[in-house]
Amino acid sequence: MTEVESDGSVATADPTIAGVAKAHVVKRSKQRSLPIRFIRSQPLGALALFMILLFVSVAILAPIISPYDPVAQDRRAILTAPGPGHLLGTDVIGRDIFSRILYGARTSLLVSVATVTIGMSIGVSIGIASCSAEQAKARTAEQLINAADQAMYEAKANGRGRYVILPISEPSQEP
């Protein structure tokens, strides 16, 4: 018979079942503490993550959160101070500033995602190209070394001499 205690431990007559259940309880409690450990070990990272999640949430929920249309003009509310009607006031043509900020977050998020995607695509392409170029250089160098080894082996086998000097390339001129 198995009973769960108030502290989450398991009491049972069979010690093997109790050990398995207790191990499961300990594992689950460690998983719950992962966000807390992250917040304690990296407080600035946790704050940055919170700000990014807040920004993304506001950008996604802008049509629901926004009290006004961001481009609608209210000629009676030109340059209104912040108050209950307009949380951050209005601009020179009567548009609600709070609504414009919320919708502007969507544009900023779209631009940042597009920029990161383009930059990542260019970086990955350059990385793949440089890797391919390095592999081509390595293959060429390997072929030259193999050709030199083969020539030396044949020269030794034919008895033409002890040393064979093959010019593979001219030395580079360094400034």
**Does residue 107 lie in a domain region?**
yes
Query: How does pLDDT run across 94-131, given as a tens digit for each residue?
Result: 999 999 999 999 999 999 999 999 999 998 888 888 77
Helices (H), the chain: 15-32, 34-41, 43-60, 62-65, 97-158
CB atoms within 10 A of CB 95: 19
**Does residue 142 lie in a domain region?**
yes
**Does residue 11 lie in a domain region?**
no
Does the predicted model carry a pTM greater than 0.85?
Answer: no
Predicted confidence at residue 62, as pLDDT, reads 93
**Does residue 49 lie in a domain region?**
yes
Number of domains in the chain: 1
Average predicted confidence (pLDDT) for the chain: 79
At which residue do the structure tokens 């209005």 appear?
90
Is the pLDDT assigned to residue 159 strictly greater than 70?
Answer: no
Predicted confidence at residue 53, as pLDDT, reads 95
In order, the DSSP letters of 124-166 are HHHHHHHHHHHHHHHHHHHHHHHHHHHHHHHHHHHTS-S----
Predicted confidence at residue 2, as pLDDT, reads 56
**Does residue 15 lie in a domain region?**
no
Predicted confidence at residue 161, as pLDDT, reads 55
Q: Which of 21-30, 131-140, 146-155 has the lowest mean pLDDT?
A: 21-30
Q: Six-digit token pair at 117?
A: 């995607």
**Does residue 45 lie in a domain region?**
yes
Predicted confidence at residue 130, as pLDDT, reads 77
**Does residue 18 lie in a domain region?**
no
* pLDDT band with cut points at 50, 70 and 90 for residue 57: very high
Task: Tell me, rounded to whole angstroms, the distance of Cα 72 from its chain centroid.
Answer: 37
Is the pLDDT assigned to residue 73 strictly greater than 60?
Answer: yes
**Does residue 89 lie in a domain region?**
yes
- d(C-alpha 148, C-alpha 156), whole Å: 12
Range of the domain at 77: 33-157
Predicted confidence at residue 145, as pLDDT, reads 77
